Amino acid sequence: MTPDNWMYHCQTFGNVTPEEYMVPFPNLGSLLEGRMIKDQDQLILDHPPLTIRAFDERVQQFRRLIHTKGVRQGTPVALENIPFPDDMALAFAIWTQGGILVLGESDKASTCVIISSGDILNLSSDKAMNIPHVKPLPETDAVWQVVGDHTIRLSHYNCLVNCYALKRTLNLPRDARIWYANEYRDSAWIILTVLLPHYGGYLLDSQAPTVRIGDAANDHFCIRRHWTALTDTRPQSLYYLPEHTAFVAVGSKILPFLDIRTESDPLILRGHAVMNGYSQARETEKVYTKAGLRLPFPHI
């Protein structure tokens, strides 16, 4: 089988193949477009108050900025010292330009366009500036995450389906106030901070969250990056595996669209959020197998 065929095999869940998209959005940018249609006056952030409309305006400003920086479809882009919530807005700007957001040590991933804090100080307000609209296909790369010696490639669909599966499993009320208490930018940040509030209609609230996710004992959910079994804990665990985009289970409850076997090391999994592979084809070929994606238990 070719590498693409192995990827297709590992991304198939039961008899549901990857192209039978299980989410209503064709790409990450369309998630924000949908919120602009339905909820543009709703708050996305409580402190300081930020509406969907104001957030989208910031995204459009950043689109003009990164376009002048040469970002086009398939361009890898890394963020450097960008404060919150501008980092979220830049992520959407990159995706709606067809670019690829690079997380981790960008010098290991590729030659990237670097967007630093100094770049966002004087943004153009010229709304007449003609920026081509890019509509990436679901299977195209949206995120590259550097983990150790590997660069993990994640598609628009990978991110959307992992976020949707987590939303279904958490089953939070629509008026939930959530906060991810970790400043490190990896795919957990993408799912919990950048995407989940839009997907679930939740409010980001750092001061009085009803659901706080982090690494502390008093958090409502604790992210486990080093694990060998999927078990229920107090606080309940979100089990992290970057080759499956971000999360595989909430406690002992495995996320939808995923078949995972943890009885032995290496673990074996197949599902729609399985990565598009590593940046190096030779490394990808080592983990795509007939049984599924074979990986050691994570020690991150």
Percent of the chain with pLDDT over 70: 95
> Does residue 181 fall inside a structural domain?
yes
pLDDT band for 109, please (50, 70, 90 cuts). Answer: low
pLDDT tens digit sequence for 226-255: 999 999 999 999 999 999 999 999 999 999
CATH code at 257?
3.40.50.12780
Least trusted range by pLDDT, from 16-30, 40-54, 184-198, 242-256: 16-30
> Does residue 130 fall inside a structural domain?
yes
* pLDDT value at residue 151: 95
Residue 216 in this model has a pLDDT that exceeds 90: no
> Does residue 300 fall inside a structural domain?
no
* pLDDT value at residue 128: 56
Cα gap 115→92, rounded to integer Å: 14
> Does residue 131 fall inside a structural domain?
yes
- Higher-confidence position of 184 and 169: 169
- pLDDT, mean of residues 168-185: 94
Highest mean pLDDT of the ranges 103-112, 213-222, 232-241: 232-241
* pLDDT value at residue 299: 81
* pLDDT value at residue 167: 98
* pLDDT value at residue 1: 61
Rg (CA), the chain: 18
> Does residue 94 fall inside a structural domain?
yes
Nearest to 210 by CA among 225, 220, 197: 220
pLDDT band for 6, please (50, 70, 90 cuts). Answer: confident
* pLDDT value at residue 226: 95
* pLDDT value at residue 36: 95
Nearest to 276 by CA among 2, 3, 1, 21: 3
Model-level pTM?
0.95
Domain span including residue 268: 3-295
> Does residue 283 fall inside a structural domain?
yes
* pLDDT value at residue 134: 87
pLDDT band for 275, please (50, 70, 90 cuts). Answer: very high
pLDDT band for 125, please (50, 70, 90 cuts). Answer: low
> Does residue 10 fall inside a structural domain?
yes
* pLDDT value at residue 277: 96
Are the C-beta atoms of 260 and 254 separated by less than 8 Å?
A: yes
Q: Is 31 exposed, middle or buried (0-12, 13-18, 19+ CB in 10 A)?
A: buried
Residue type, position 2, single letter? T
Length of the chain as a residue count: 300
**How many folded domains does the chain comprise?**
1
* pLDDT value at residue 129: 65
Cα gap 46→51, rounded to integer Å: 9
Cα gap 13→273, rounded to integer Å: 10
> Does residue 119 fall inside a structural domain?
yes
105-to-102, 144, 147, 148 alpha-carbon distances in Å: 8, 10, 8, 9
